[in-house]
Amino acid sequence: MSERRCPKCGSVYTDTGARFCPKDGSMLVEIQSKKPATPSASSGTGGRTPHTPGKAGAGLDRASTLTSQILDGRYEVLKKLGEGGMSYVYLAKEISSGDTVAIKVLSPRLASDKSSVERLRREAGLAMRLDHPNVCRILRLGESEDGLIYLVMPFLKGELLSDREVRAGPMDIAVGVRLLQQMCAGLHYAHELQIVHRDLKPENVMLVPDGAEGERAVIMDFGLAKERRADPAIAKLTATGIILGTPEFMSPEQIRGKPLDARSDIYALGIVAFEMFTGKLPFQGRNAQEMMIARLRSQPQPIRQLRADVPETVEKALVKALQTNPDDRFATAIDFGNALAGAAPSAASGFLGKLKERFS
């Protein structure tokens, strides 16, 4: 019997071929069946099944139960922070320096797939180039002696945007616009390096306390990132017929499997913004699949029908960001950020300039 669980809402689905949760669009995680030990597999009555290197099940158990263990002789794993369809995330301490870090361990089920490993290596190579206050860096890509492949990132003390939305409801307009402008600054920086995120969603944005400035938005998990100037080898990795991304936030061109550029991230950020201000998604449907179809065939619901105090400038910016045709959207994330605040599209020195001054 095959069971899959949604890591976001906890729903369990039995004997289903679905890869995404129909309730919230999250990628489902397979639940490993626990078979009783047999005499041939155990070392005696009540004995422990010996670890066999190379077995997928043994590797999966190791990757999902690293708490209180030492990883690769370098990191003391303190606790599990979360899990998804492709990885497990842990809080850890680097033994040599004492620094607190977050470690993302690739599921052994995927680690045995060369394409998945190659995509993770690309993630590390790309994200190590990102050095911006609104983007989470990748510090290191490692591989343990027992074959676990992992990424090391700074541990950000804060609250996920998705958790904030659940806890506090629709966000204050001024606060939300400021955070969205910061996200635009981080995205623009990545886009200038020819990097597209491809999986922007509230679960991938951390709100970090930032002194007198309040909070700083940090975009995380470039795990599905893809260089715009992809060579044929890279393009082949994503030409599998499998849609990569989260259904609720994918652009129409991503749903269709078309080539992506910065404007796809702008579309996803438009949906994130809509949800931040209303607690709802701009396209309606009974499940993720129906909402994907709605994005291909219909226009988003006007935000001021749901929240009357949203300024007209914000509504106009969201309408433009959520256009079906990429050519009708903002050309850059900076233009989107300025439009949210009512600034002229050409005023690219606005909030981005202030961020550069502050962190230079």
Tell whether 233 and 269 lie within a shared domain. yes
Residue 342 lies in a domain: yes
With contact defined as beta carbons under 8 Å apart, do 226 and 238 qualify? yes
Token reading at 118: 């190659």
> What is the average pLDDT score of the chain?
78
SS3 label, residue 313: helix
| Predicted pLDDT at 55 | 42
Tell whether 212 and 345 lie within a shared domain. yes
Residue 37 lies in a domain: no
Per-residue pLDDT tens listing for the chain (360 residues): 456 666 667 677 775 556 566 666 655 665 543 333 323 332 333 332 233 334 444 455 788 899 999 999 999 999 999 887 678 899 999 999 999 999 988 877 766 777 767 776 776 787 788 899 999 988 898 888 888 889 899 999 999 999 999 999 999 999 999 999 999 999 999 999 988 998 899 999 999 999 876 899 999 987 544 444 433 333 333 333 334 456 788 899 988 889 999 999 999 999 999 999 999 989 877 777 787 888 888 788 899 999 999 999 999 999 999 999 999 999 999 999 999 988 544 333 444 445 444 444
SS3 label, residue 216: strand
With contact defined as beta carbons under 8 Å apart, do 324 and 264 qualify? no
Tell whether 207 and 107 lie within a shared domain. no
Give the closest residue to 86 by CA, choosing from 119, 130, 129. Answer: 119
Between CA 320 and CA 303 the distance in angstroms is: 12
CA 52 to chain centre: 33
Query: What are phi and psi for residue 226, nearest 5 degrees?
Result: -145, 130
Tell whether 307 and 211 lie within a shared domain. yes
With contact defined as beta carbons under 8 Å apart, do 140 and 96 qualify? no
pLDDT digits (tens, 9 = 90+) for 310-326: 999 999 999 999 999 99
| Predicted pLDDT at 7 | 61
SS3 label, residue 304: helix
| Predicted pLDDT at 24 | 62
Query: Helices marked H in 1-70 — which ranges?
Result: 56-64
| Predicted pLDDT at 334 | 96
pLDDT digits (tens, 9 = 90+) for 122-149: 767 877 888 999 999 888 988 888 888 8
| Predicted pLDDT at 126 | 76
Q: Which amino acid is at 186?
A: G
Tell whether 67 and 125 lie within a shared domain. yes
Query: What are phi and psi for residue 127, nearest 5 degrees?
Result: -70, -25
| Predicted pLDDT at 303 | 96
CA 288 to chain centre: 17
Domain that holds residue 83: 55-155
CATH number where 219 lies: 1.10.510.10
Single out the catalytic residue among 15, 163, 172, 199.
Answer: 199
Residue 46 lies in a domain: no
| Predicted pLDDT at 256 | 87
Between CA 275 and CA 259 the distance in angstroms is: 26
- The last residue of one of the domains, among 155, 173, 198, is 155
231 annotated active-site? no
Give me the number of domains the chain comprises. 3
Between CA 153 and CA 144 the distance in angstroms is: 16
| Predicted pLDDT at 114 | 77
Tell whether 210 and 334 lie within a shared domain. yes
Tell whether 308 and 216 lie within a shared domain. yes
